[in-house]
């Protein structure tokens, strides 16, 4: 159990609350598309998917959706675990030099670098296998998804846009879950992915404020190390303004109702709150802004969006 907890700490499993709720939004959107377009009885659609179990007649859609739901969860956990473990493996020398990160599992000697790399490979294999049992399109796109989430770990070495690459990696959650159910692209889950892209990029900049001096000293790239704390916060605000604008656009253009509006108010309120408690000369509440505010934003927003979908469809 102790070793299991060490690996959970290595991959910061609690941070799953950022992208997982948005994956659930994508899954539920796919569920309603699945039924509204009569895909349940479509022989052409059945031929496009790869199922572990094929079930005919009325139970086919229920069995399929339960299976895909489990596989989406497995994909989310395995992909994120691979990304985090690889990041810790690749950054182990920098983490050892940074007082804030020296206590992490690899520099502290709790988990060896070799074990972390093996764990990364196992998680990548688990992700691809899970994609195989979903559908062909998801399987074919799985190497691209893996490339994005693993490539992020290199970006801080050469570009301050690393925050956007992280946001891009997490933004695959809603569109990926939607594709898992429908094997089709659609504008709405893509818009939810854009929310994740700009939201995550914005709060990752806030988190990176803590390492501004270390990044400069180590020649690592980030928005704070390039622009300084004040301007970096302005960039973060701009990204969060874009995310909030997309939320508002979705609410009006796609005719969502009351519960979506409640979720939108909470989500945007948490964005405003985290910027109100983090100042260039006071980073004491960065962790509250990073974990608490964004965790609430993600979970509450997703819960109300999903509730709105079920009540009004």
Structural domains for the chain: 2-311 (1.10.357.140)
> Could you tell me which residues come within 8 angstroms of residue 157 by beta carbon, excluding any fewer than 6 positions away?
220, 221
Nearest in space to 211 (alpha carbons), one of 92, 106, 98 = 98
Cβ contacts of residue 37 below 8 Å, gap of 6+? none
Confidence of residue 5 (pLDDT cuts 50, 70, 90): confident
Asked if 179 and 185 count as a contact pair (C-beta separation under 8 A), the reply is: yes
Share of the chain above pLDDT 90, in %: 76
Contacts with 133 (C-beta within 8 Å, 6 or more apart), sequence order: 50, 51, 52, 67, 71
Confidence of residue 15 (pLDDT cuts 50, 70, 90): confident
Q: What are phi and psi of 228, to 5 degrees?
A: 90, 165
Q: DSSP assignment, residue 19?
A: T
Token readout for 233 is: 């916060």
The overall pTM is greater than 0.95: no
Determine the pLDDT at residue 2.
Answer: 76
Cα separation, 171 vs 80, whole angstroms: 12
Reply yes or no on whether the pLDDT at 39 is more than 80: no
pLDDT at residue 20 greater than cutoff 60: yes
Kindly state the greatest CA–CA separation across the chain. Answer: 64
Q: Dump pLDDT digits (tens) for 149-163.
A: 999 999 999 999 999
Query: Positive or negative, the Cα torsion across 252, 255, 258, 264?
Result: negative
Predicted pLDDT at 41: 47
241-294 pLDDT, tens per residue? 999 999 999 999 998 999 999 999 999 999 999 999 999 999 999 988 888 899
**Residues in CB range of 178: below 8 A, 6 or more apart:** 26, 27, 29, 30, 33, 184, 186, 189
What's the confidence (pLDDT) of residue 4? 76
- The count of other CB atoms within 10 Å of the CB of residue 129 is 15
- The two tokens of residue 177 are 């879950």
CA distance 185 to 203: 27
Residue 282, helix vs strand vs coil: strand
């Amino acid at each position: 159990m102790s070793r299991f907890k060490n690996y959970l700490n290595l991959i910061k499993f609690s941070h799953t609350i950022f992208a997982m709720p948005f994956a659930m939004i994508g899954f539920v959107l796919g569920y309603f598309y699945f039924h509204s377009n009569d895909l349940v009885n479509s022989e052409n659609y059945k031929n496009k998917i790869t199922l572990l179990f094929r079930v005919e007649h009325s139970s086919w859609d229920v069995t399929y959706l339960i299976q895909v739901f489990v596989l989406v969860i497995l994909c989310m956990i395995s992909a994120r675990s691979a990304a985090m473990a690889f990041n810790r493996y690749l950054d182990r020398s920098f983490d050892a030099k940074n007082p804030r990160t020296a206590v992490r599992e690899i520099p502290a000697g709790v988990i060896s670098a070799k074990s972390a790399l093996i764990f990364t490979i196992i998680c990548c294999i688990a992700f691809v296998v899970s994609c195989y049992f979903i559908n062909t399109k998801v399987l074919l796109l799985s190497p691209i998804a893996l490339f994005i989430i693993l490539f992020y770990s290199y970006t801080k070495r050469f570009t301050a846009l690393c925050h956007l690459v992280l946001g891009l990696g997490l933004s695959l959650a809603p569109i990926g879950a939607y594709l898992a159910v429908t094997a089709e692209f659609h504008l709405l889950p893509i818009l939810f992915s854009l929310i994740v892209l700009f939201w995550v990029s914005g709060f990752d900049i806030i988190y990176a404020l803590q390492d501004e001096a270390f990044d400069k000293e180590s020649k690592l790239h980030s928005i704070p190390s390039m622009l300084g704390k004040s301007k970096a916060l302005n960039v973060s605000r701009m990204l969060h303004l874009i995310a909030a604008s997309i939320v508002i656009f979705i609410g009006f253009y796609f005719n969502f109702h009351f519960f979506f509006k409640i979720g939108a108010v909470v989500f945007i309120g948490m964005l405003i709150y985290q910027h109100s408690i983090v100042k260039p000369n006071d980073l004491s509440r960065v962790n509250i802004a990073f974990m608490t505010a964004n965790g609430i934003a993600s979970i509450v927003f997703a819960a109300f969006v999903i509730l709105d979908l079920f009540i009004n469809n």
